[in-house]
Amino acid sequence: MKKPVPLTRDLVLIGGGHTHALVLRKWGMAPLPGVRLTVINPGPTAPYSGMLPGFVAGHYSRDDLDIDLVRLCRFAGARIIVGRATALDPQARTITVDGRGDIAYDVASVDVGITSDMPMLPGFADHGIPAKPLGRFSARWEAFRAETATPQVAVIGGGVAGAELAMAMAHALHERGHQDAAVHLIDRGKVLGDFAPPARDRLLAALDDQGVVRVEGADVAEVTADAVHLADGRRIESRFTTGAAGAQPQGWLAETGLDCHAGYLSVGPTLQTSSAHVFAVGDCAHLGFDPRPKAGVFAVREAPVLHHNLVAHLSNRPLRRFKPQKDYLKLISLGGKTALAEKLGTARRGRLLWRWKDRIDRTFMRRFDDLPVMTPEAPARAATGVAETIGRTPPCSGCGAKVGGSALVTALGGLPVPGRADVVSRPGDDAAVLSMGGTQQVLSTDHLSAVTEDPALMARIAANHALGDIWAMGAAPQSALVSVILPRMTPALQTRTLAEITRAASEVMAQAGAEIVGGHTTQGAETTLGFTVTGLAEAAPITVQGAVSGDALILTKPIGSGTILAAEMRGLARGPDVLACHEAMVQGQGDASRLLREARAMTDVTGFGLAGHLSAICRASGTGAELDAVPLLPGALDLARAGVRSTLFDDNVAHALPVTGPEGPLRDLLFDPQTGGGLLAAVAGDAAEETCAALCAAGYPARLIGRVTEGTGISLQT
């Protein structure tokens, strides 16, 4: 029997820059067995700088601009930690992530780019928008461009980056009908002073064509909300002021203790820093062996060398040298769909050059869009039914991996009625209820196969998911036992992984008012996390029985997590949608449970889907239900419309009460298994709006989704 290769080394990529993105793609095609790969990035996407001027000008959408790191990491088999790295300790081999703590590494690579922030310029931190990092800038520009007032823009820094931005901004504003838009390009020396004729002459002519006003020999004294103030007393009106006055390194790099040059990490020919275990690439690195200007072309050409050297270092093989080219072709956008090409002092301008640049950029981005879709394959020789059981899609994780409701109900139906006087619940309730000396204790257990490669995030999801049964019965969490199954890995990686899991889980439990009192660990085929939890109920626990016709139905979270997670496993979900799904799953329901303490019936929406758990209330209460305003997670409806379903979908349809109403993606999502779903409560009609408003005020995306009716089925109204 072939056993999985144990994990022995942690490789951490800090930043989702162009080099790391290309390494991830190459890693997905041929991973190094035994390596656990981690990516740390502030967001789920990484903007491609080559298309930023085109985005600013309106030629590209934000989706065109972004590399989807969540999808890329899934393809590469990597975990992604969405957070900002703030420190690296080469002695302890740890990376500090804001709001997350320390992440250990055996080998690390840094590709965090640069910033064009101006911390020493008065007012810029409050009123300016640095052109880099690109994510914040692009979001602010998109919002500003949509405004209707007369736009006034100032770009500080008259190099090629500032000139490209100024021309792109002017073009975009003119295209929106703002012919009176004012775009100023400010430099303390000469605009585009690093260029020699004829390239500079042609670039200056392009600036004039776009109506950009050049302000040369000007020192900026202060930036305010509506102006840029110059040292000579001049005031330039500006409601959008950006900085492109040269690259600045991320401040924390100089504090690592690694050798730096002007704040940039110094690297040798193998792209290693002064620590052999830390590599650096892209704009954050200084090529000390052969200095070069900051340019994306070097980042792209570093990728194959970095990939080779990371693999070689992790497997004790020889490393390669990076040899940067002496000169390179510069393709500069001129606002409209024209570009200038410059190399070795020769310059040309025209529309064909823009089309050439556009083709180069789109070809680069297609590398991250055209990723193979993962599909399971049945063995060539297998027993009858194997191919049908495997299906054409990978099995889901989380609640989508659970046993179907029909099988579970059949199994529970064979259990005897509890004979102990202190056991007052029945099989099928959300949790067991034990009565001891007048105290009502609620007991439940739940476990999940991992929906993410990040053990800390998975711990938060699993802990909140397990607590859902306690909250659904109106009880206060008390204690928890943790059950952990890890894939085979070395003791060092076990220690790191368990530390991340217990730290995250203890934070969730502490916030809920519970204590982790112990647990159990073992090794298996894949990561699985579970919790056995107890809670105390001051009054009679809320069950699924008790709803009456006329009650309003309140749901505290949107649905769609099963579909999004199924799509993410196949590389079909958008990174921001996956991140929003994760954020929904880790939202605790403690305050919601307290606000819903007067509910007549309540449950948490998990593996059986909204229709299945609503069916449990209807069956126990002898009622029907009508749904008319079901909230959905971002992206869920489009994925359902495309035919994406969890592998538990068919079982959930069979288990639920009949649902009448229009067929389509919305109806399909009623049967979608939810991981860490919200509370579903039947509340007296006259108190429903006030209760829902209180939930919203407490930070929950709660909605009135329908009502309890007479009858025995569920009706969907659209």
Other beta carbons within 10 Å of 408:
17
Could you give the maximum distance between any two Cα atoms of the chain, in Å? 94
Rounded distance between C-alpha atoms, residue 703 and residue 693, angstroms:
9
Q: Which two tokens stand for residue 17?
A: 């820059």
3-class state of residue 694 by DSSP:
helix
User: Looking at 260, 399, 581, 692, which residue is catalytic?
Assistant: 399
CA–CA distance, 304 with 286 (Å, rounded to integer): 18
- The closest of 228, 247, 230 to 159, measured between CA atoms, is 247
What token pair was written down for 394?
């990978």
In terms of phi and psi (left: phi > 0; alpha: psi -120 to 50; beta: otherwise), the region of 51 is: alpha
**Integer Cα distance of 133 and 135 in angstroms:** 6
DSSP state of 299: H
- Rounded to 5°, angle at Cα 526 from 524 and 529: 90
Contact 220, 228 (CB under 8 A): yes
* Tokens of residue 640, six digits: 């359902």
Residue 381 pairs with which residues in a beta bridge?
Answer: none
Q: How far apart are CA 216 and CA 651, in angstroms?
A: 70
Sequence-ordered list of residues with C-beta below 8 angstroms from that of 385, at least 6 positions apart, any chain: none
Question: In terms of DSSP bridges, do strands 240-243 and 152-156 run parallel, antiparallel, or are they unpaired?
Answer: parallel
- Which residue type does 104 have? A
Give CA–CA dist 124/225, Å, rounded.
9
- Classify 461 in phi/psi space as left (phi over 0), alpha (psi -120 to 50) or beta: alpha
Residue 396 appears among annotated catalytic residues: no
What is the rounded distance in angstroms from the CA atom of residue 95 to the CA atom of residue 39? 11
Residues 67, 70, 74, 75: what is their CA dihedral angle, to the nearest 10 degrees?
0
342: amino acid identity, one letter: E
**Strand arrangement, sheet containing 528-537:** 432-436, 439-449, 528-537, 476-487, 515-524
* CB 476, CB 536: distance < 8 Å: yes
Q: How many CB atoms lie within 10 A of CB 595?
A: 22
Q: Where are the beta strands (DSSP E) in 336-438?
A: 336-343, 346-350, 432-436
> Cis before residue 318, ω within 30 degrees of 0?
no
Query: Across the beta sheet with 240-243, what order do the strands follow?
Result: 128-130, 240-243, 152-156, 182-186, 213-215
Q: Please say whether the dihedral angle defined by the alpha carbons of residues 546, 550, 555 and 556, taken in this order, is positive or negative.
A: negative
Q: Amino acid identity of 706?
A: G
Quick one: which H or E segment has residue 126?
A: helix 124-127
Query: H or E element: which one contains 107?
Result: strand 107-110
> What is the set of active-site residues?
399
